[in-house]
Every structure is written in C-alpha cells, then in structure tokens.
Amino acid sequence: MSSTWPKGFRAHAANIGVKDDTLDFSVVIGDPGTHCAAVFTQSRFAGCSVLISREHAAPGTARGVVTISKNSNVATGAQGDENARTVLAHVAAKLGVGSPELLIGSTGVIGREYPMDRILAGVDRLDPSTMDASLAQVAKAIMTTDTVHKTSRRSAGNAVIAGVAKGVGMIEPDMATLLTWIFTDADIAPADLDAVFRRVIARTFNSLSIDSDTSTSDSAAIFASGASGPVELGVFETALFDVCLDLTKQIARDGEGATKLLEVRVDGARDDAQAKRVAKAIVNSPLVKTAVHGADPNWGRIAMAVGKVYDDNLGPDTTVIRFGPMEVYPTTLDAADLEQLAAIMRRDHVLVHVSVGDGPGGWTVYGCDLSREYVAINADYTT
C-alpha cells in the first residue's frame, strides 16, 4: 500500500475503456467508521452523479468515492441515473459495503450515457484484496483535459491530510469546484469536519476561476478515518487550508491553455463579500486575462473591472491598483514605469493587488491568463 495515503484508506485505479489507453476509473474506500463532509455544484443542470452523491453524503457516513473520467453522465435523464446507481451497486458489492456508503464523481463530455458494458466489465476486475493504487494514480485517473495530475499532502499533528483534484476548464465554482477528494486519518467530529471544510472551501476552491463557467459536475468531499486519533481543530484547519490552496493553485496554473497563475487580492472593502465580488470581476475579465497573457501593461483594464461592480462606495477616489509591489494607480507612470510593469507581467505568477477603501473586507481569488490555446482546445473538445 502506498505510503502517500493517510491511514485507513486503500485505492484502486484502472483503465476500463472510457478513455482510450489511460487511467479513467478509480475507487477509494475508508475503513469502517470513516465519515465525510461534501459540497456540490448549484448548477440547475447538475449531473446524476452529483444528485446521487448529495443523497449519499447527507448523513455524513459515506466512506468512499468512485470516479469515472471522460464522461460526465449529465443530461442523460432517468437512464443516466439508473446507470450511475448500477455502477455504485456493483462497486459496493465488490467491496462488501452498501451503496449509500459511496459517493460517485463523473467528469467529461455532457449528454452521453455511460458505456455500461465496458464500465461493468472494469468493475468486475476490481479485487478488494489488491487495492494498492497510489495517490498519484488516483489523481491521474480523474483527469480530463488536465496536462498534469494534482496531489497535495500535509501533516496535521499526528495525522495526515492528502488530496487529489482535477479541473482545467469550465471552472467558476458556485459551492466548491471541479472534482476534489480529500482524505485524512485525523479523528474529527462530523460537525467540526463539515464546518471546517466549508470554511476552507470558501477561501480556496470557491475562490478559483478559469473561464467563468460553472460545471454541472462540481463535487468536493473530505473523508476522515480517525485512524491517527484527535487533532487540535485549529491545527487541522490550517493543514487542510494548505492542501486545498496548493491544489487550487495547481488547477489555476494548469488552466486550459494557461501560461500564468493570476492571483487577485482585494482589501479595504466594505465586507468580505464585496471584496470577493471585485476580485472575481477582475479575474474573470477576458480583457484582464488577455493583457496578462501578453504582458501588456494596460493597467486600465483593472480599473474597468473594478468599475463594473456597481456598489455605491466604489470609485476612483478610493482605489489603489498594484501589480505585485508596484503601484500603477493613482500614481502617474512614464515609459520606464510601463516597461517595469510589463516585466512584472511577464512572470509566471502575476499578483494584482487592489485596495478599494479603508474597510475591513478582504478576499483573494485565483485564476489564469487567456490564450489562443484555450480557444483551440474548446473549439475542438468533442471532435
């Protein structure tokens, strides 16, 4: 068993023929007593996997997750629901658990039913006695157009927190985002696990945007086996935040066609909610994203994005715009300053810091630049 997993978990990853020749199916299961917390997309077109997983996650007693990549099983009606439940039933039978103890995640093309013959044949090959897939293998098995797999691991007292995530497009979360599964052997009470997870999600995955589009399949869950005993809650939350922020930044850097991580920090706002609105307006602006891609020192696009948040306390008299440590507004810039700004924007991590007043609110969001490659990828996604 790979040492990358927290105690109390085992995993399986395989190719079952949904993708051509790469890993496309994974199962992670926790020991009896494992419990979970989860959040899901608010899309009105949520997929069958999301609807079933909401149901199974509600009691907090789910202890494992099945993931199928390259097929989202969205907009497939009653047959899609039946297919997803059939997959879970077959996996559960193999593992000797009940279907409600498992969540299911699906990611890929919308509007296509599962290739059930191939999937069930793949499930039949699952051997619970040899579940030895690594964290990296599970991360690879949930990828779609990702160019790299995404994992993160931290210690929390005597416990470990480890996570996997996928996602590079159709990312503008409205709860969590994409698919991310987190595992820990810390003994955390169910109510505390849920509260901490939601706080961390808000500041990490829910503060991420690649292209302003909310997926129909977004799912995030954390599973706690308790095998390493209690952990002080503050220590646990800090380590969980570090894991989730690391994964968030990995996703932003790997955004479809991306060449740069874009970080937008807003402070001085009326409250945190206003700071987040302003930050999202900036990170989601195609004009800002293309300027960052081309290292074009057109800082006026940041001013434009702030200005389209129509709150009455926002305006030019109270706003300061910076790229990294360099103030670009209201300071007057000359040609040398603009070249310095262009040099900052040529870095692979571009920080935009905007102060909109002297209020207590602040928020940071994460995204990426917008390139020609993004258009190419999504113009040909299913063909």
| Angle between helices 48-57 and 77-95 in degrees, nearest 10 | 50
Q: Give Cα 165 to chain centroid, integer Å.
A: 6
Q: Give Cα 41 to chain centroid, integer Å.
A: 11
Backbone angles phi, psi at 67, to 5 degrees: -130, 135
Q: Which of 144, 177, 184, 319 is catalytic?
A: 177
Bridge partners, residue 221, by sequence: 38, 181
> What are 114's two structure tokens?
């599962």
Residue 177 among the catalytic residues: yes
Write the DSSP symbol of residue 47.
-
> What are 234's two structure tokens?
């503050």
> What are 152's two structure tokens?
């993160």
Q: Strand 219-224 relative to strand 179-184: parallel, antiparallel, unpaired?
A: parallel
Residue that is written with structure tokens 């129509």 in the block: 310
Cis peptide before 297 (omega within 30 of 0): no
How far is the C-alpha of 156 from the C-alpha of 244, rounded, in Å? 14
Helix (H) / strand (E) containing 231:
none
Catalytic residues: 177
